Amino acid sequence: VCALFGLQCVVYMGADDVVRQRLNVFRMQLLGAEVREVEGGSRTLKDAINEALRDWVTNVADTYYLLGSALGPHPYPLMVRDFQSVIGHEARAQFIERVGRLPDALVACVGGGSNSIGLFHPFLADQYVKMYGVEAGGSGDRIGQHAARFNERGGGRPGVLQGTMSYVLQDEGGQIASTHSISAGLDYPSIGPEHAFLHDAGRVVYVSASDDEALRSFQTLSQLEGIIPALESAHGVAYAMKLARKSGPGQNIIVNLSGRGDKDVNTVADRLNGEPR
């Protein structure tokens, strides 16, 4: 958009994510963006958002703050939800056209929650459609090993972060806890406020998938369908595979593939020592 309209574009990105998302960084630079690495804190998404907000309030007269997830102060979560809901509207219409009825379940990964709220929102009034948001289970349940905000034992509880009250991973002193996920897009200590509401209302069930489960589903989808998913999406695929095994015959599940996995191939290759399993 900035390239099209001749606008200056500055992108803040955690230094660790710059390494994990090298292909996306190159694409942004190719389009003319200035990518600023954030070295402070955990060097991931949380710290990049902090720096972007700091820049915005310092230069508010000539700067527009753009966030790609359903996070931050009002009205950003609603804006992102409304734009992303094209996913759910199209999925709903196309599924009814092809199958003649609504799906039995929806599954999507949840970092900040933009792709998932975009899929879920047009189905919220359809009471018989079950919905599952899949968080990053990381490498364990202890604080610092995952990014599952609804994991109470792992530090998830209500709090305020970056202009939003939601569920936030916190340490015993109430400070923002460190997080871990093999997926850069899920490696964030809070979640969009509408997801917090849907969790408390019981409308959406939130589960998690571990790094290892995401890696397995990444390979399975690639080998069986010829689709290389983003590691974020692979978390959703991992749970959908579990759900399919538990579901009866004739059950239809929509899984949202929120991104392609080109950007993650190096991460996966390093994790698997270059040998797919």
User: Which residue, of 29, 59, 89, is where some domain finishes?
Assistant: 59
Q: The tokens of 18 are what?
A: 């710059």
Q: The tokens of 272 are what?
A: 């698997």
The CATH code of the domain that includes 197 is 3.40.50.1100
User: Which residue, of 59, 88, 104, is where some domain finishes?
Assistant: 59
Q: How many domains does the chain have?
A: 2
Burial class of 275 by CB neighbour count within 10 A (0 to 12, 13 to 18, 19+): exposed
Specify if 277 maps to a domain.
no
Specify if 232 maps to a domain.
yes
HSE-CB at 256 with a 13 A cutoff on CA atoms is: 29
Specify if 68 maps to a domain.
no
Asked if 218 and 269 count as a contact pair (C-beta separation under 8 A), the reply is no
Q: What is the pLDDT of residue 274?
A: 66
Q: What percent of the residues of the chain are helix, what percent strand, and what percent coil, each to the nearest 5?
A: 45, 20, 40
Q: What is the pLDDT of residue 153?
A: 86
**Could you tell me if 55 and 80 lie in one domain?**
no
**Could you tell me if 135 and 197 lie in one domain?**
yes
Specify if 97 maps to a domain.
yes
**Could you tell me if 101 and 143 lie in one domain?**
yes
- Within the chain, residue ranges assigned H as helices are 2-5, 15-20, 22-30, 45-58, 76-84, 86-99, 114-120, 193-201, 211-225, 231-246, 265-271
Answer whether 0.85 is exceeded by the pTM. yes
pLDDT in tens, the chain (277 residues): 999 999 999 999 999 999 999 999 999 999 999 999 999 999 999 999 999 999 999 999 999 999 989 999 999 999 999 999 999 999 999 999 999 999 999 999 999 999 999 999 999 999 999 999 999 999 999 999 999 999 988 899 999 999 999 999 999 999 999 999 999 999 999 999 999 999 999 999 999 999 999 999 999 999 999 999 999 999 999 999 999 999 988 999 999 999 999 999 999 999 998 667 6
**Could you tell me if 138 and 235 lie in one domain?**
yes
Domain range spanning residue 23? 2-59
Asked if 162 and 134 count as a contact pair (C-beta separation under 8 A), the reply is no
